[in-house]
Amino acid sequence: MKKNYFVFPETEHYREYLGFRHLRGQNTLVSLAIFLMMALTIIYMVLSDYLIMPIIGFSVGYLVILIINFATVAYSQENYYYLKLGKYITSIALFTMMIVTIIYFKSPSFIPLLFVAYAICSIYKDTKVLLWITLYFIFAIIMLILNFGYLFDFQNVLEIKDLAIGFFVVLFILILLLSSLIIVKEKTFFYNNISYAKEKEFRNLNLLMEFETKNEASIIHQKDYYQEAKNLLSAFAEDVNIKDTFSEKLDLLMKIANNVDKKILLKEHPDFSNDDLEKLEELLLDKNSKLRRIILKLKHTQIKKYKTREIFSATHFQSFNKQSDSIEVKILCFVVYYVALKKGLPGMKPLSNQELYDGLLNTDLHHFIDPKIIKIYRENFDVFNTIADEMKLGGEEA
């Protein structure tokens, strides 16, 4: 199996979608903060009687950042990736603007604006943005110390000035980076789990449909439903005095369900094209149709009501590496999990040694097992195989 980061490779798409879904809101906050910075800079320059040209210069600088920001949001309607591009450009441009401000005013009082810029950019909650701006931050500080050393010639001179600058700035950047990184990871935790749960839902529904189809007692009687729907909807069309467009489509569905050849259908129903028939197929109450999946979801949605006030409950987090569990419980969980998968549950295919190895070690699943246990498994793969291979397999009948 190809080395995958996610248990279900499809989760990557939904994670990305979640990221984009929230990026617009984050982008609005960043734009507002930049606008606030622009307003304050202009107010300060006007009150301090600066010439009109520098005021226009700074205004244009901020406006260019805002325009780029708005443009990427507008283009993101066409392609989401413009939003991604927008956050990188905005972050770098904002930092550049701050450095220009410090150099222009030649005052250390503007240096804390670099911290403000960092806080603004961290609204994006993006690891790449954080790493870029951290590097830029370090570059900016080194550049200021080397080329604009006079910015640090305070009236109250400390004997160990250079050491103090180096230490506290590095410390501040480190704590800022680590705290922002963990906050980003908190968001990723939810993105991971939601996208995982979404994909699991999709696959659970598929498995349910498969099981229901295996169980003859629950096989649906398709013909009856199409006929019943036809009766109901032609009565409706008659009631409200509209053209009955339903009956022919339901007749067609009935024929498609009975595997009537498409060529015959097209001949018998000349108003319908091949595309129309393909679209109609989506409405089949077939064992694997999308309509069937919608019905299954609808059916289960109403069974249990979720508690809206359930907050960050640990019970929702499934793992064999819970801090509250002893190492003995963790070992037991892993072993039972491994042996059950190897043996296979009724109706389920027992998994091969290689499939188990790939699933446990080459996906993010290994994060949910104690590292000591997973290390033993990795290093003693052959021992595990030898012990487990002696067991008679269960699962699906051959």
Report 8-37 residues binding another protein (CB under 8 A): 8, 10, 13-14, 18, 22, 25-26, 29, 33, 36-37
Closest distance to another protein from the beta carbon of 164 (Å): 4
Report 168-227 residues binding another protein (CB under 8 A): 168-169, 171-172, 174-176, 178-179, 181-183, 185-194, 197-198, 200-208, 211-212, 214-215, 217-218, 220, 225-226
Closest distance to another protein from the beta carbon of 162 (Å): 11
Q: State the Cα torsion 301-307-313-315 to the nearest 10°.
A: -50
| Pick from 337, 366, 338: nearest CA to 353 | 338
Report 224-243 residues binding another protein (CB under 8 A): 225-226, 228-229, 232-233, 235-236, 239
- Cα maximum dimension of the chain: 97
Report 96-115 residues binding another protein (CB under 8 A): 105-113, 115
Enumerate residues 6+ apart whose C-beta is below 8 A from 85: 72
In the set 249, 254, 256, 265, which binds another protein (CB under 8 A)? 249
Report 262-291 residues binding another protein (CB under 8 A): 279-280, 282-283, 285, 290-291
Closest distance to another protein from the beta carbon of 389 (Å): 9
Structure tokens at 215: 């169980």
In the set 51, 52, 53, 160, which binds another protein (CB under 8 A)? 160
Strand partners, 369: 320
By beta-carbon proximity to another protein, the closer residue of 71 and 256 is 256
Site residue total, another protein (CB under 8 A): 180
Report 345-364 residues binding another protein (CB under 8 A): 345-349, 351, 355, 359, 363-364
In the set 123, 140, 254, 265, which binds another protein (CB under 8 A)? 123
In the set 146, 150, 270, 382, which binds another protein (CB under 8 A)? 150
Q: Is 62 near another protein (CB under 8 A)? A: no
By beta-carbon proximity to another protein, the closer residue of 174 and 264 is 174
In the set 40, 60, 131, 135, which binds another protein (CB under 8 A)? 40
Q: Rounded to whole angstroms, how far apart are CA atoms 44 and 129? A: 29
Q: Rounded to whole angstroms, how far apart are CA atoms 252 and 261? A: 11
Contact 111, 148 (CB under 8 A): no
Strand partners, 320: 369
- In angstroms, the Cα distances linking 356 to 37, 292, 343, 381, 389 are 55, 32, 11, 10, 13
Relative orientation angle of helices 327-343 and 353-361, to the nearest 10 degrees: 140
By beta-carbon proximity to another protein, the closer residue of 215 and 259 is 215
Closest distance to another protein from the beta carbon of 30 (Å): 9
By beta-carbon proximity to another protein, the closer residue of 71 and 332 is 332
Q: What is the DSSP string of 254-296?
A: HHHHTT--HHHHHHH-TT--HHHHHHHHTT---TT-HHHHHHH
By beta-carbon proximity to another protein, the closer residue of 4 and 96 is 4
- In angstroms, the Cα distances linking 230 to 99, 134, 281 are 72, 65, 16
Q: Is 378 near another protein (CB under 8 A)? A: no
Closest distance to another protein from the beta carbon of 322 (Å): 8
In 340-365, which positions are buried (b, 16+ CB within 10 angstroms) versus exposed (e)?
A: ebbbeeeeeebbeeeebbbbbeebeb
Closest distance to another protein from the beta carbon of 92 (Å): 18
Report 286-345 residues binding another protein (CB under 8 A): 290-291, 293-308, 310-314, 316-320, 322-329, 331-343, 345
Name residue 8's amino acid: F
Q: Is 368 near another protein (CB under 8 A)? A: yes
| Pick from 392, 180, 206, 172: nearest CA to 293 | 206
Enumerate residues 6+ apart whose C-beta is below 8 A from 329: none
